[in-house]
Structure 1
Amino acid sequence: MGRRTLVLVAREDGRFDCRVAHWGVDADPVAQSRPLGRGWSAAAVRDRLDATVEAVLVCDGSVRRYCVCWLDPTLDDPTDVALARTDDPTALRAWWVEEKSRACDAVARGVDAGTVRDGLLAALRDRADAVHLPDDAPFLRGDR
């Protein structure tokens, strides 16, 4: 299975050149990705984020790594995602897969989906360095 990664390269005008890698990236995200579009606004970037994207890298002098975490425990809304900044995306992804599996099981047992989603988001906020919902654009400007 692929590891679709969006690589966002910040421009001086506040927009982004967007690139995509289907098998993830490591040492050189720009070289390991292909162009997807130039001059994207923050809104265009946010509109592109959904559960089909596994990771986002923002390159603006440094590289910030985010895992895209699908929050919807009913698996109905692929746009219900959060971006979790981490220096260890492999560990965060492994933890998230387990958390999400438990959340889906809870919904299948009859626990309210909204309550389960809120619990997922709270657990993610406790685990990640920073968490942003797609309509929260500070991840594009540096959230340190």
Structure 2
Amino acid sequence: MGRRTLVAVTRPDGRYDCRIAHWGVDADPVAQSRPLGSDWPASAVLAALDATYEQLVLLDGSVRTYAVCWLDPTLSDIDDIALARTDDPDAFRTWWVDRKDEVCRALDSEDRDPASVRRALLASLRDRAASVHCPDDASFLRGDR
């Protein structure tokens, strides 16, 4: 199964050269990806992400990985995502898939409101991840170490 990854390389002028990998990345994100676009502002990097991506890798002197987490429990809004910083993307993805399945089953069986389920998912992310960012918050692109 693919692991679609957006790789954003910070330029000296604060813009980004972006690359895409369909099978994920590990030791060398640039070598494992192909060019997607150059000279992007932070807003364009975030606009490119949706639930079809599994992760964002940011190269800015260090390598930071963010899991793309689909929050919409109704599975209808592909843009309803949050980015969760993680040092172990595989373990985080396993946890997230299990957590999302759990709350979606509760939505089906307990007649819960989708908005409350979404809030519960976001709270779970905030408890688990080093940092969590919604797609309207580009501040992490400038560093959240």
The alignment's TM-score, normalised by the length of structure 2, stands at 0.97
Q: Which residue of 2 aligns with 1:72?
A: 72
Tell me the percent identity.
67
Matches within 5 A, 1:11-90: 11-90=11-90
Distance in 2 of aligned mates of 1:99 and 1:141: 29
5+ long unaligned stretches in structure 1: none
Q: How many residues end up aligned between the 2 structures?
A: 144
**TM superposition shift of 1:82:** 0.4
TM-score, normalised via structure 1 length: 0.98
SS in 2 for 1:64: strand
Amino acid at match of 1:142: G
* Unmatched tracts of structure 2, length 5 or more: none
Counterpart Cα distance in 2 of 1:64 and 1:138: 14
Structure 1 residues 114-144: Cα deviation after superposition (integer angstroms, max 9, x where no partner): 0010000001100000000011112211112
| Deviating 4+ runs (over 3 angstroms) | none
Q: CA deviation at 1:65?
A: 0.5
Q: Which residue of 2 aligns with 1:128?
A: 129
Deviations 1:65-122 (A, max 9, x none): 0000000000010100000001011111000000110121122221100001000000
